[in-house]
Amino acid sequence: MGQPTKMTASKQKFVGRSVARLEDRPLLLGQGRFAADISFPGQWHMRVVRSPVAHGKLLGIDASAALALPGVHAVWTYKDVAHIPPIPFRLTGLVELEPYRQFILANDTVRYVGEPVAVIFATDQYIAEDAAEMVELNIETLPPILDASGDTGPFDAERATEPSIIRKSFGDVDSAFKAAHDVVSLELSVGRHSGVPMETRGAIARYDEARDILEMHGAAKVPWWNRDHIAQMIGRTRTNMHLLEGHVGGGFGIRGEIYPEDVLVCAAALVFKKPIKWIEDRREHLISANHSRQQQHRIRAAIDADGHILAIDDEFFHDNGAYMRTHAATVPDLAAAMLPGPYRVPAYRAVGHIRLTNKTPCGTYRAPGRYESTFIRERLMDAIAAKVGVDGVEIRRRNLIAKAEMPYDLHLDTLGTHIVYDSGDYALLLDKTLALAGWPELQASLKKRRAAGELLGAGVAMFVEKSGLGPSDTVRVDIMSDGKVEVVTGVASIGQGVETAMAQIAADALGVDYASINVVHGQTDRIDTGAGAFASRVTVMCGEATRLASVKLRDKALKLAAELMQTDAASLDIVNGEIVRTGRIGSSMTLAELAQAWPGELTATDTFLSSHMVYPYGVHVCAVKVDADTGAVAIERYAIGYDVGKAVNPRLVESQIAGGFAQGLGGALLEEFVYDENGEPLSVTFADYLMPTSREVPPVSILVTEDAPSPLNPMGLKGAGEGGTNPVGAAIASAIDDALQQPGAITDLPISPQRLKALCQKN
């Protein structure tokens, strides 16, 4: 126990400060442990044999030459894994979609270029790759289906390629259109792209026969859900299987779902009693990992004479590729449910056709469904503005949901929750973001330069995001014998700063330095339950669970310290990791001394439950210059305003927004997976699938506001992961329209130079 002291030091506060990231040190020192860095003695390497055709009958597989190659241990085809069921749904798993799930190896039909048909197990990766090229596939080619908005075709002998239709509605849409002063109609589309993280997928499975434990390394995003369902698929229990997350080189929705390869390495490790390692190459990633986005919309709005929306009616076609993967109907469901955005829409109807084509299957990608529907909605708002004869800012103001209307019931559901906007002041954020962009001065400058012949324009896009998906998160907090704190969570880290943000929250609740806290994540052997990291949920759900557990532990620590210090717990506090008497001279005690006096007692677990999501919102403002000769777009100014309720670490929020913007920019101007008429993918290298580099990404002005804390959690938190991406395509399209002085010119994303040059020539 320390010497008598008088408490003079004030508590440090960490929440709300841009403290340095805790997770950076091992990465900066080259000590990262990514999937490819993980190896075990005696491991075998797995290589996947993939379909070279988009659609065909698989009549036979000849692996004899591969099996004869020295170093090849085995070749599996469907008959070796026929007992393993198809991959289950994690979200929005409608019953009618189940027959369209993917098996881990193709049986009698292949449905996209890249579909796993067989796997090689060999001594090293080079032999495995050579052997894979020796496997001969006998495939009878069938005509591919490539247009999701065209006629349906046969998926199999019993089913067509439209597994389901999403329907969302409220109000009397038909009456609104009959009474409308005018109707605005558009046909719009968003191309196919995806997250394409720096680190490709990887999975390493090891079976510890002595402990009867199967491990899979390389997990990401949702390790607990994946543990439970991979275990079910291969006949294990959740208690004798562990998924272990290392460092992850980007997630973005694409990484961390159950793919065929994850199940294959686990099944093989059990059968062969050998560690099995699989690391994806970049071509495999581009043709096999989840794609996203591709939708075509036919939307119309009924309006009054002043441009107030009376009703919106949208029919769209969602191209989900060859199979329904783990996300099932999530993306089209979100697109239909979130399309109304920040605007007052008295009547609404959306009909979304889920269509299967002979392309790579789809899943989620940062702001899934919202990137698409925001583009559609904001193009509609610009078209309404042009019809009425006012600018885009004014038409948005006229239709915004007011602060006084919060909470605002949208009368729609998605992800198993009813959509009720919890809080927001959309008009205030619009004003702040326009001020950030210097809107009046910007308009004056653009007008002057346009008069000199330059093609310049500015646009605005607004949106509402969703975040904080429940239903629960559980956290355990322990004070160790050295006085340091360990926070064990059921979330995953995909680069968003989990360790830092959770440490900041725990530090404030406990009264310690955030740097003394070790945050554990992504390890299913450390905590039994966990929801992982997706849907911008971690800060809201895990953050509040961390606060609850930390407060509980603080109370326990003060109670135990009071016994030792022969005082009342109410007279004690924890300040900078030391237990002190409040307001008077007296003895103190370090947390290490307390932990040593009460071994194993300084632990607390708590759970945060939530039945509703929370809804951050934002505004993007963009100014562009168009080169009519080349179709190039130069972004001259970009400003983002985003309200997150409460920023635990403002710098991390700004970084999330900036990174998300770069991905939204790629989808707006550069990135697109394209196929030829035979279903052959043409975007199989970075020479064909163009992504923005530091040269293409301009400086961005970012304003993070806290004007609308959420009433649904004590800290007022809302998620920040997807607001940088959501409206980028919409904002850039609006600015290009303005530059060309052609309202409604941009109807498709990405806005490629070829498409834009053609528009300029029509100008």
Tokens of 395: 């038409």
Domain ranges of the chain: 5-32+469-609, 35-143+200-247+255-288, 295-468+613-762
The Cα–Cα gap between 703 and 700 comes to 10
At 354, is the secondary structure helix, strand, or coil? Answer: strand
207-229 pLDDT, tens digit each: 999 999 999 999 999 999 999 99
Nearest CA among 336, 346, 314 for reference residue 184: 314
Q: Is the pLDDT of residue 3 over 80?
A: no
Beta strands in 480-602, from DSSP E residues, in sequence order = 485-489, 517-520, 572-575, 578-581, 585-586, 589-590
Task: Name the β-bridge partners of 621.
Answer: 460, 639
Asked if 328 and 368 touch (Cβ cutoff 8 Å), the reply is: no
pLDDT, mean of residues 411-434: 97
19: number of Cβ within 10 Å: 21
Distance CA 578, CA 3 (A): 12
In 3D space, the residue among 405, 399, 412, 404 whose CA is nearest the CA of residue 460 turns out to be: 399
Confidence tier at 12 by pLDDT (50, 70, 90): confident
35-143+200-247+255-288 and 295-468+613-762: identical CATH topology? no
- The pLDDT of 378-394, averaged and rounded, is 98
Q: Provide the β-strand partners of residue 420.
A: 409
Q: Say if strands 44-50 and 589-590 run parallel, antiparallel, or are unpaired.
A: unpaired
3-state secondary structure 404-447: HHCCEEEEEEECCEEEEECCCCHHHHHHHHHHHHCHHHHHHHHH
Dihedral sign for Cα atoms in the order 479, 485, 486, 489: positive
Q: What angle do CA 61, 67, 73 make, to 5 degrees?
A: 120
Q: Which two structure tokens, joined as six digits, stand for 612?
A: 């509703």
Structure tokens at 478: 């322990």
What is the spatial distance between Cα 332 and Cα 334, in angstroms, rounded to a whole number?
5
For residue 520, the cross-strand partners are 488
Following CA atoms 575, 580, 585, 586 in sequence, which dihedral angle do they give, to the nearest 10 degrees? -160
Contact between 458 and 622 under an 8 Å Cβ cutoff? The reply is: yes
Q: What would the two tokens of residue 93 be? A: 């798993």
> What is the pLDDT at residue 761?
85
Neighbouring CB atoms inside 10 A of 400's CB total 19
Residues 496-500: what's their mean pLDDT?
Answer: 96
Rounded to two decimals, the pTM is: 0.96
CA distance 79 to 68: 20
Residue 332: CA count within 13 A, CB half-sphere: 32
CATH match of 295-468+613-762 with 2.40.30.10: no
pLDDT (tens digit per residue) in 582-616: 877 778 999 999 999 999 999 999 999 999 999 99
> Can you tell me the mean pLDDT for 348-374?
98
- The helix/strand/coil state of 27 is helix
| Strand spans (E) along 234-308 | 241-244, 276-279, 295-303
Residues β-bridged to residue 615? none
Among 633, 675, 630, 632, which Cα is nearest to 191's?
675
- What is the reported pLDDT for 587? 82
Residue of 229, 217, 315 whose CA lies nearest to 275: 217
Q: What is the tens place of the pLDDT at every residue in 301-359?
A: 999 999 999 999 999 999 999 999 999 999 999 999 999 999 999 999 999 999 999 99
In this predicted structure, what is the pLDDT of residue 10?
64
Question: Is the distance from CB of 729 to CB of 169 less than 8 angstroms?
Answer: no
pLDDT of residue 762: 78
Q: Can the peptide bond before residue 407 be classed as cis, meaning omega within 30 degrees of 0?
A: yes
Is the pLDDT assigned to residue 200 strictly greater than 90? Answer: yes
Answer yes or no: are the C-beta atoms of 84 and 234 closer than 8 Å. yes
Looking at domain 35-143+200-247+255-288, its CATH class is alpha beta
Residue type, 352: G
Q: Average the pLDDT over 738-763 and give the result.
A: 92
Q: How far apart are CA 61 and CA 122, in angstroms?
A: 18
Residue 623 pLDDT > 80: yes
Phi, psi of 452 (to 5 degrees): -90, 5
What are the backbone angles phi and psi of residue 313, rounded to the nearest 5°?
-130, 120
Task: Round to whole Å and give the CA distance between 675 and 320.
Answer: 14
State yes or no: pLDDT of 519 exceeds 50. yes
Q: Give the model's pLDDT for residue 11.
A: 76
Task: With beta carbons less than 8 A apart as the criterion, state whether 614 and 741 touch.
Answer: no
Render pLDDT for 33-66 as a digit per residue (tens, 0 to 9): 999 999 999 999 999 999 999 999 999 999 999 9
Mean pLDDT, rounded, for 87-109: 96
What are 681-719's pLDDT values in tens digits?
A: 999 999 999 999 999 999 999 999 999 999 999 999 999
pLDDT in tens, 423-468: 999 999 999 999 999 999 999 999 999 999 999 999 999 999 999 9
Q: Other CB atoms closer than 10 Å to residue 542's CB: what's the count?
A: 28
Contacts of 575 (CB under 8 A, 6+ apart): 7, 9, 10, 11, 511
Helices (H), ranges, 37-91: 64-68, 78-81
For the CA atoms of the chain, what is the radius of gyration? 28
CB atoms within 10 A of CB 69: 14
pLDDT at position 266, please?
98
pLDDT band at 25 (very low <50, low <70, confident <90, very high): very high
DSSP H or E run through 636: strand 632-643
Q: Evaluate whether 753 touches 631 at the Cβ level (below 8 Å).
A: yes
Other Cβ atoms less than 10 A from the Cβ of 685: the count is 10
The rounded mean pLDDT for the chain is 96
Does pLDDT of 757 surpass 70? Answer: yes
List the single range of 10-24, 66-80, 102-116, 170-184 with lowest mean pLDDT: 10-24
Asked whether the predicted pLDDT for residue 7 surpasses 70, the reply is no
CATH fold of 5-32+469-609: Aldehyde Oxidoreductase; domain 4 (3.30.365)
Asked if pLDDT for residue 365 goes beyond 80, the answer is: yes
The pLDDT of residue 736 is 98
Scored b (16 or more CB within 10 A) or e, 705-715 reads beebbbebbeb
Is the backbone of residue 494 left (phi > 0), alpha (psi -120 to 50) or beta? alpha
Q: Is 262 left (phi over 0), alpha (psi -120 to 50) or beta?
A: alpha
Task: Select from 669, 631, 660 the least CA-distant residue to 749.
Answer: 669
β-bridge mates for residue 243, sequence order? 216
Q: Which helix (H) or strand (E) holds 167?
A: strand 164-170
Strand partners, 601: none
Do residues 170 and 347 make contact, with C-beta atoms less than 8 angstroms apart? yes
* Confidence band of 728 (pLDDT split at 50, 70, 90): very high
Q: How far apart are CA 707 and CA 705, in angstroms?
A: 6
Supply the pLDDT for residue 6: 42
